[in-house]
Structure 1
Amino acid sequence: MSTIRHKFRDYKNKENIEILILGTFNPDTSNNPADFFYGRGKNYLWNLLPKVFGYKELKNSSVSEKKEFIDKYKIGFADIIQELNVDSGNETNYADDYIDNKVLKWIDFEKFLKDHASLKKVFFTRKTFRDVPKMKEQIDIIKEICSENGVEFACLPTPARFENHKKLNEWISIFEK
């Protein structure tokens, strides 16, 4: 068995964030070139999210430009999975249905919320939960915590794989609610 930790586990969100983009996992492995959240090649969050705010695409921008954008709009990032314990030889298998059963540590969302009392909205970057019952269970817990604390919660279409007008319009519609 091999333990895989979150690549950005030491990242600290600003205390004053009002929006949280909540994802699943970003592995700290040698084959992961991401330099920041949603930084892998087939992820289009940095095209979609800025456009929601009428801002230019940031997919190929520096981390400092991305941080400038998120600071301006009081956006933070976190993932529900903090650590995995995977079978040897499967260190690069991040299929959701595989990792759903390999989680060692989930986000402590109550603590996160306590540390970010200004949080108003949480957007999870996934709408479907087929074959990931443990992930769904965690999201249900987070939804409940949000509800109890007056924080809005919504699921976004995944920013992975592609970007198009339909997906962008869905993002805009969800953010505007």
Structure 2
Amino acid sequence: MPCNHRFQANLYPEHKLKYLFVGTFNPEWDNPNGNNANWFYGRRTNSFWNIMPRAFDHPSLNNPENRLNPEPWKQYCYENSIGLTDMIETILDANEQEHQNQIINFLDDQLENFNDIQLTDIINIIKENSATLCGVYLTRYCHTLNENGIFNQRWLEIENLCNQIGIHHSCLVTPSNGYMMPRDEKVELWQNGINNCE
């Protein structure tokens, strides 16, 4: 059966946005190693909740309590007009017995091997928030995307729309701990890449 996004019901932020952070996909299928998220970027191997708040000169929200109960993360996003979403909503031609390893390894190039993918309507999210959006940010570097893959093609569509309606956009260094760079350095790079409209 298809593999839906783990937070499919939350892919379309309902509050007004100043900032939209865009990822790729978080599958609903559990990883046997237990490294599963309770909300966006919530895996223990991801430092988003350290880097993102600090990029806005706020304290880190990266702690074990929030990983178990992400309500403080959700409240932070609401209070600061921040939206989180991912490009893929559902992989329709995925089969858990056949494709589990391919999907839960979190390597995006593996996801691009599927043929029937339902994308999140990020274009509409941007249009609905065009009056208030200060910036749209991909949470990985653009040059790491497969030039002919769905993620790069989707990001180009997002960039083109942002250029048309005058919204800042940027590709940020990944918050994943798999990319070995000191957190402080990542925070500085995010600060340089984000159009802080406060």
Normalising by structure 1, report the TM-score: 0.89
> Match for 1:82: what amino acid?
E
1:35-76 C-alpha deviation (Å, 9 max, x unpaired): 110011111100001111222211222311112211221100
2:24 counterpart of 1:24:
yes
Shift of 1:10: 0.6
Matched, 1:106 2:116: no
Q: Is the 8 A contact 1:97 1:131 kept in 2?
A: no
**Which whole-Å CA distance do the structure 1 matches of 2:52 and 2:45 have between them?**
15
**What code does the residue aligned with 2:98 have?**
G
Q: Matches of residues 6-155 of structure 1 in structure 2 within 5 Å?
A: 6-11=5-10, 12-31=12-31, 33-60=36-63, 61=66, 62-84=69-91, 85-86=93-94, 88-93=97-102, 94-102=106-114, 104-117=117-130, 118-127=132-141, 128-130=144-146, 133-155=149-171
CA 1:16–1:105: 2 relative to 1, 3 Å: same
Structure 2 gap segments, 5+ residues each:
none
Match among 163, 171, 175 for residue 190 of structure 2: 171
CA distance in 2, matches of 1:173, 1:131: 25
Does the Cα contact within 8 Å between 1:15 and 1:116 map onto a contact in 2?
no
SS at match of 1:135: helix
Structure 1 position 132, deviation (Å): 6.3
Hey, what's the Cα distance between the residues in 1 that align with 2:124 and 2:194? 24
Between the two proteins, the alignment pairs up a number of residues equal to 176
Once the two structures are TM-superposed, the CA of residue 158 in structure 1 deviates from its matched residue by 0.4
Query: SS where residue 85 of structure 2 aligns?
Result: strand
User: What is the percent sequence identity of the aligned residues?
Assistant: 26
Q: Is the Cα contact below 8 Å between 1:19 and 1:120 reproduced in 2?
A: yes
**Whole-Å separation in 1 of the counterparts to 2:129 and 2:113:** 29
Structure with greater proportional helix content: 2
Question: Does the aligned pair in 1 maintain the 2:168–2:195 contact within 8 Å?
Answer: no
User: Which of 11-20 and 47-56 deviates more?
Assistant: 11-20
CA contact (8 A) 1:101 1:134 kept: no
The answer as to whether partners of 1:19 and 1:122 remain within 8 angstroms in 2 is: yes
- Consecutive unaligned residues in structure 1, runs of 5 or more: none
Note if contact 1:33-1:40 (Cα within 8 Å) is conserved in structure 2.
yes
Does the aligned pair in 2 maintain the 1:24–1:81 contact within 8 Å?
A: yes
